[in-house]
Amino acid sequence: MPEPTKAEYIVGVDLGGTKIMAGVFDARFQCVSRNKISTKPERGAEAIVKRIVRCVQDAVDEYDLSLKQIRGVGVGAPGAVDPDTGRVLFAPNLNWTNFPLKKALEKELTIPVFVENDCNASMLAVYEKELPSKPRHAIGIFVGTGIGGGIILDGKLYSGFNRTAGEIGHMVIEVGGPKCNCGNRGCFEALASRTAIFRKITSAVKDGQKTLLTEMLGGDLRELRSGDLRKAIRKGDKFVEKVVEEAAEYIGIGVANLINVFNPEVVALGGGVIDALEDEMMAIIVATAEDYALNGTMNGIQIVASKAADDACITGAAVLAHKMTKS
Amino acid sequence: MPEPTKAEYIVGVDLGGTKIMAGVFDARFQCVSRNKISTKPERGAEAIVKRIVRCVQDAVDEYDLSLKQIRGVGVGAPGAVDPDTGRVLFAPNLNWTNFPLKKALEKELTIPVFVENDCNASMLAVYEKELPSKPRHAIGIFVGTGIGGGIILDGKLYSGFNRTAGEIGHMVIEVGGPKCNCGNRGCFEALASRTAIFRKITSAVKDGQKTLLTEMLGGDLRELRSGDLRKAIRKGDKFVEKVVEEAAEYIGIGVANLINVFNPEVVALGGGVIDALEDEMMAIIVATAEDYALNGTMNGIQIVASKAADDACITGAAVLAHKMTKS
């Protein structure tokens, strides 16, 4: 059992539209305790704040710590965040506009709280834990339900004028392409996210396409997860393999677009889809990016798969809180 | 006739694949003399350097100045440029790789020379002369034969790891779309540059499309210029109007992509196409960008047409040389 003499732990929180995750981290950013509860955004902001507090308290208690032993809490929140004030400016998933999250949490927790955009927090984790060369410019692409980006320029997180930079999931790469949740067509995430991949599969199955997935899941594809795709491919399912390859090609084109535009030293790919399908997708992503990046722009640029997986956001939020409370 | 007592003039050079332009600027960035000659890249680097020198000397002489009265020379060059060393790292149009342009020109001119990417130089002109609010982040989109970008982040030009950032013309926005000169398909500049617009028109005319342009130009569309499109539209040519509107929509999508990704405070549009067709295109560009930019990302962001036109690069190159020689 740990017996720290001072507040040397940090908590990182991943605040999502459906679930809240909290992790307690030691000074070397190892996660020693984690906890997860549902967000229930329909209950309103005050209730969400209470749920974040409970999630943090339970994670801390689980490791036999008290809040007094926590130096700070970092939160990765969806949408536009002003890290200077700790306000969530705009978060459609939570139904929040200009919500003072830092202030509300500090009142309850009585320890310093710092807020960042969730993808920026995830990128901070990748940068801190996986990029020892500390590249000057690096971009993270997180492929899950949607596609989000975290941007580091000149060694610092970049969030732009309205704090909404990095909305790479809504970069149009196929005008007139499939419909996106944002209302437009042909967005990157409408072509290559888990949602896009699953939509393609269920629609083909409805049209009579045979796949091992229906055998594996008993016909109910609503339970489909990225890991099932990997299993089906490894069992020889050519249909699933093709769908995943197509998504990887689109991701490669998205990577090339970002290289043509930003020319970062490193592009890191993360999120649930990459995590589950790294072996199936990464070689295709890299080859496609090399095809589409303009001659001369790719020299020395690394395209890497992040290992942070589901812990990216809580880890990055902890990194943030660590940086901000460092004496 | 000017009688300066010290070197108070600056020269800006626009080094292109087909022509070299030089302008002499006073301390308020007014162009007092300009000169233009062909580049003739097939004659090799040494010959190009001599032609730049001659172009500069003639522009200076035309205003009855001598090189002694010139404080510095700025050059906007196509391709990847390292502004710190003044080397052109990679310029396919000139057939140059890692060419020490600054050094070669300083040897001949015996005054300080500074080199930047041409679109970055143009963006510097826009920033200095047309954006008095000095936005922290701003992007320039220059639509001419191709489409190039100039990026200002945190008040400074941004060029990325290989100095190739801002190659926005090769951002894919329509996978499988029309062929681009870079070898790929569906690049932004294959859909919305002057080349793309002209290709669409000549191909339709070949297929029997009627247009005022053939009357205006006597059937030889090789002489077509952006200004002719404006004239045809104002005379009521619905076909040309539609082609220009489609290009404006693609530009609007390109703008939205950059707003989603960079979230700059200002997007400035320039180049020959915008210059000739501002009235026909700008409203469509802005409306389309508003459609495609993610909700919340456009708040307070300005999309403006630059007035710099053909002088953008020489002006920006002069701004650069001015900044670098300021005591």
Asked if A13 contacts A49 with a C-beta cutoff of 8 angstroms, the reply is no
- Any bridge partners for residue A113, and if so which? A73
Q: What are phi and psi of B149, to 5 degrees?
A: -130, 150
Closest residue in B to A246 (Cα) is B175
Most A-contacting residue of B181, B182, B263, B299 (CB-CB within 10 A), to test interface: B263
Partner residue facing A261 (CB), from B171, B295, B301: B171
Tell me, what's the pLDDT at A218? 82
| Nearest-angstrom CA–CA distance, A32 and A36 | 14
| Nearest-angstrom CA–CA distance, A218 and A66 | 46
What average pLDDT does the structure give for chain B? 95
Partner residue facing B253 (CB), from A161, A175, A301: A175
| Nearest-angstrom CA–CA distance, A316 and A311 | 8
Asked if B73 contacts B111 with a C-beta cutoff of 8 angstroms, the reply is yes
| CA gyration radius, chain B | 20
Closest among B43, B183, B204, B63 to A294, alpha carbons compared: B183
Residue B206: how many other CB atoms lie within 10 Å:
9
**Amino acid letter for position A40:** K
Tell me if B301 and A164 make a contact (CB, 8 A cut-off): no
Q: By 3-state DSSP, what share of chain A in percent is helix, strand and coil, each rounded to 5?
A: 45, 25, 30
Q: How would you class A9 by CB atoms within 10 Å of its CB: exposed for 0-12, middle for 13-18, buried for 19 or more?
A: buried
Tell me, what's the pLDDT at A2? 54
| Residue A1 confidence class, pLDDT cut points 50, 70, 90 | low
Tell me, what's the pLDDT at A67? 95
Q: Over 90: is that where the pLDDT of A205 sits? A: yes
Tell me, what's the pLDDT at A223? 87
Q: In this structure, which long-range contacts are made by residues B307-312, counting pairs with CB atoms below 8 Å and at least 24 apart in sequence?
A: B307/B130, B308/B122, B308/B125, B308/B126, B308/B129, B308/B130, B308/B270, B309/B270, B309/B272, B309/B275, B310/B21, B310/B272, B310/B275, B311/B23, B311/B31, B311/B34, B311/B125, B312/B121, B312/B122, B312/B125, B312/B126, B312/B142, B312/B270, B312/B271
Interstrand relation of A266-270 and A302-305 (parallel, antiparallel or unpaired): parallel
| Structure-block tokens of residue A187 | 């967005």
**Amino acid letter for position A311:** D
Tell me if A158 and B161 make a contact (CB, 8 A cut-off): no
Phi-psi region of A260 (alpha: psi -120 to 50; beta: other; left: phi over 0): alpha
Q: What are phi and psi of B269, to 5 degrees?
A: -105, 130
- 327 residues of chain B, pLDDT tens digit each: 555 456 789 999 999 999 999 999 998 899 999 999 999 999 999 999 999 999 999 999 999 999 999 999 999 999 899 999 999 998 988 999 999 999 999 999 999 999 999 999 999 999 999 999 999 999 999 999 999 999 999 999 999 999 999 999 999 999 999 999 899 999 999 999 999 999 999 999 999 999 999 999 987 888 899 999 999 999 999 999 999 999 999 999 999 999 999 999 999 999 999 999 999 999 999 999 999 999 889 999 999 999 888 899 999 999 999 999 986
CA A189 to chain B, closest CA, distance in angstroms equals 13
Tell me, what's the pLDDT at B222? 87
| Residue A7 confidence class, pLDDT cut points 50, 70, 90 | confident
Tell me if B160 and A137 make a contact (CB, 8 A cut-off): yes
How many helices (H) and strands (E) would you count in chain A?
A: 10, 13
Tell me, what's the pLDDT at A163? 93
| Nearest-angstrom CA–CA distance, B221 and B230 | 15
Asked if B257 contacts B171 with a C-beta cutoff of 8 angstroms, the reply is yes
Tell me, what's the pLDDT at A93? 87
Average pLDDT over residues A168-172: 97
* A186 neighbourhood in chain B, CB within 8 Å: 174
| Structure-block tokens of residue B306 | 């630059």
Partner residue facing A168 (CB), from B165, B261, B299: B261
Tell me, what's the pLDDT at A283? 98
**Amino acid letter for position A171:** M
| Nearest-angstrom CA–CA distance, A285 and A255 | 8
**Helix, strand or coil for residue A139?**
strand
Tell me if A80 and B257 make a contact (CB, 8 A cut-off): no
- All structural domains of chain B: 9-117+312-325 (3.30.420.40), 132-307 (3.30.420.40)
* Residue pLDDT, tens place only, A55-92: 999 999 999 999 999 999 999 999 899 999 999 998 98
Supply the angle between the helices A238-262 and A226-234 in degrees, to the nearest 10.
Answer: 120
Tell me if B172 and A297 make a contact (CB, 8 A cut-off): no
* Residue pLDDT, tens place only, A287-302: 999 999 998 899 999 9
Q: In this structure, which long-range contacts are made by residues B32-40, counting pairs with CB atoms below 8 Å and at least 24 apart in sequence?
A: B32/B2, B32/B63, B33/B59, B33/B60, B33/B62, B33/B63, B34/B59, B34/B311, B34/B314, B35/B59, B35/B62, B39/B15, B39/B94
* B174 neighbourhood in chain A, CB within 8 Å: 173-176, 186
Distances in whole angstroms, Cα of residue B160 to Cα of each of A137, A259, B75: 7, 9, 19
Instruction: Count how many pairs of residues, chain A against chain B, have C-beta atoms within 8 Å.
Output: 152
Closest residue in A to B183 (Cα) is A292
Q: Over 60: is that where the pLDDT of A4 sits? A: no
Supply the angle between the helices B312-325 and B118-130 in degrees, to the nearest 10.
Answer: 80
Tell me, what's the pLDDT at B108? 97
What is the ipTM metric for this complex?
A: 0.94
CA A71 to chain B, closest CA, distance in angstroms equals 31
Closest among A203, A170, A196 to A184, alpha carbons compared: A170
CA A69 to chain B, closest CA, distance in angstroms equals 38
* Residue pLDDT, tens place only, B71-123: 999 999 998 999 999 999 989 889 999 999 999 999 999 999 999 999 999 99
Tell me if B263 and A159 make a contact (CB, 8 A cut-off): yes
Closest residue in A to B171 (Cα) is A257
